[in-house]
Amino acid sequence: MSVRGYFVAFSKCTVLLSLRILLLVPAGLPVRSQGDQSDNKMMDNITVKQGDTVTLSCAQGDDVKHTAWLNRSSILYAGEDKWSVDPRVSLMTRNQEEFTIKIENVDMTDEGLYVCAVQTNSRPRTTSVHILVQVPPKIINLSRDIVVNEGSNVTLMCQASGKPEPSISWRLAPSSGDLASDDEYLDIPSISRQRAGTYECTAVNDIDTDVQTVDITVNYAPTVSEGRDVGVTLGQRGVLECEADAVPEADFEWYKDDRRIFNGFDGMEIINTGSLSKLTFFNVSDGDYGNYTCVATNKLGNSNTSFLLYVVIEPTSSTLLQGPRAVQDGSGGAMGVHSHTSLLFIVFLPFLLRF
């Protein structure tokens, strides 16, 4: 018989053998041939991670005439002849002792039943093995970053694939580790500003972990810190500071009584930096003393606070001799200067001790 004729005959024999094996057994059950039960062997399942390499081996013998590795209805190798067009499949060993192939970069499509069919002089035998492919978790559907107003209801979604099926949990990061949710969905009713931040979705199975994040920005109206009155000596530099907590950041306006102050107005300077606004007086004059109001505004509302810029008179030798007197603020009101009284007491203390 010619080489070509032998190959054709061998191919027909192998195909008939594979069909014989596959047609006799329902899908998903161990493969049995028509030979003796002792001639057929079902190996333990092989569990492999996605991306790894798996080797499949079956025993040979002196009386083996033809061998083939099959995957479901496809012939991978018939003897040393490769039938599979998949470049990941290759022959490792074929001799009288073993017939071994390998599959590199295993994927989910490789999962299933594999059969090593051996034709001997007496009767055929088979070795069967089931490959189980484990897949690390991968988050495939995740809510986008969102911006909401305080008091809104928020729902985040996180879905993941993997085998075994991954478990999913949510938490606000950084946190103490307490779970915000152990489900695909995280519900936050009437969200507050304290619940704003970065939320982590974690998908875990026996193979690996996948983590992705969602940012929640919570908008709220400004809250202004209580104003601190400031005393400044005539002709000196003075600063009023107004701080507002708000998202988005607040815009600031300054007023003296009912009149709005603009940058550069009467030698004043307004500098806004994030949540802080500063009103600076470079050379305080009599007309600068008085009441000031800071107003912080964003699209959700506004808040304000008031300040008093009052005069401070430095003590001199003449004021010490004159005794305590009233100090006028910018609006004409009298303010007691207790420091002058203390100084006068210290000056006259030696005379009092003589008596």
Percent of the residues in the chain that have a pLDDT greater than 90, as a whole number: 63
- Give yes or no for residue 77 having a pLDDT over 80: yes
Work out whether strand 74-78 and strand 81-82 pair parallel, antiparallel, or are unpaired: antiparallel
CB 115 within 8 A of CB 21: yes
What is the tens place of the pLDDT at every residue in 248-304? 999 999 999 989 999 988 889 999 999 999 999 999 999 999 999 999 999 999 999
- Give yes or no for residue 319 having a pLDDT over 90: no
Domain with CATH 2.60.40.10 in the chain: 40-135, 143-221, 225-311
Q: Which tokens sit at 9?
A: 């005959």
Q: Which residues pair with 298 in a beta bridge?
A: 301
Place of tokens 């005539």: 234
* pTM for the whole structure: 0.67
Q: Which tokens sit at 94?
A: 């074929």
**Average pLDDT of span 148-177:** 92
CB 192 within 8 A of CB 152: no
Confidence of residue 176 (pLDDT cuts 50, 70, 90): low
Percent of the residues in the chain that have a pLDDT greater than 70, as a whole number: 76
Neighbour count for residue 292 (Cβ, 10 Å): 22
Confidence of residue 122 (pLDDT cuts 50, 70, 90): confident
What is the tens place of the pLDDT at every residue in 216-247? 999 999 999 999 999 999 999 999 999 999 99
What confidence score (pLDDT) does residue 226 get?
A: 94
Q: Is the Cα torsion angle 254, 256, 259, 265 positive or negative in sign?
A: negative
**CATH superfamily assigned to domain 143-221:** Immunoglobulins (2.60.40.10)
Fold designation for 40-135: Immunoglobulin-like (2.60.40)
- Give yes or no for residue 34 having a pLDDT over 80: no
Give the range with max mean pLDDT: 12-21, 28-37, 283-292, 344-353: 283-292
Whole-Å CA distances, 349 to 169, 339, 344, 355: 75, 15, 8, 11
Neighbour count for residue 298 (Cβ, 10 Å): 18
CB 33 within 8 A of CB 39: yes
Residue 10 burial class via C-beta count within 10 angstroms: exposed 0-12, middle 13-18, buried 19 and up: middle
What confidence score (pLDDT) does residue 111 get?
A: 94
Please tell me the distance from the alpha carbon of residue 280 to that of residue 293, in angstroms, as a whole number.
14
**Average pLDDT of span 117-134:** 89
What confidence score (pLDDT) does residue 60 get?
A: 85
What confidence score (pLDDT) does residue 316 get?
A: 59
What confidence score (pLDDT) does residue 332 get?
A: 37
Helix residue ranges per DSSP H, the chain = 3-24, 317-322, 338-354
Q: Is the Cα torsion angle 124, 129, 130, 136 positive or negative in sign?
A: negative
- Give yes or no for residue 150 having a pLDDT over 60: yes
Residue 137 burial class via C-beta count within 10 angstroms: exposed 0-12, middle 13-18, buried 19 and up: buried
Confidence of residue 73 (pLDDT cuts 50, 70, 90): confident
What is the tens place of the pLDDT at every residue in 325-334? 333 343 333 3
Whole-Å CA distances, 307 to 45, 256, 265, 304, 331: 79, 10, 18, 10, 13
What confidence score (pLDDT) does residue 335 get?
A: 37
Whole-Å CA distances, 134 to 30, 256, 311: 21, 72, 78
Q: Which tokens sit at 269?
A: 């300077």
- Give yes or no for residue 343 having a pLDDT over 90: no
What confidence score (pLDDT) does residue 178 get?
A: 63
Number of alpha carbons in the 13 Å side-chain half-sphere of residue 200? 14
Please tell me the distance from the alpha carbon of residue 355 to that of residue 50, in angstroms, as a whole number.
101
What confidence score (pLDDT) does residue 286 get?
A: 93
More confident site: 21 or 196: 196
Confidence of residue 62 (pLDDT cuts 50, 70, 90): confident
Neighbour count for residue 44 (Cβ, 10 Å): 7
Task: Specify the range with the lowest mean pLDDT, choosing from 10-24, 39-53, 104-118, 159-173.
Answer: 10-24
CATH architecture of 225-311: Sandwich (2.60)
What confidence score (pLDDT) does residue 13 get?
A: 45
Q: Please state, rounded to an integer, the average pLDDT across all residues of the chain.
A: 81
More confident site: 14 or 155: 155
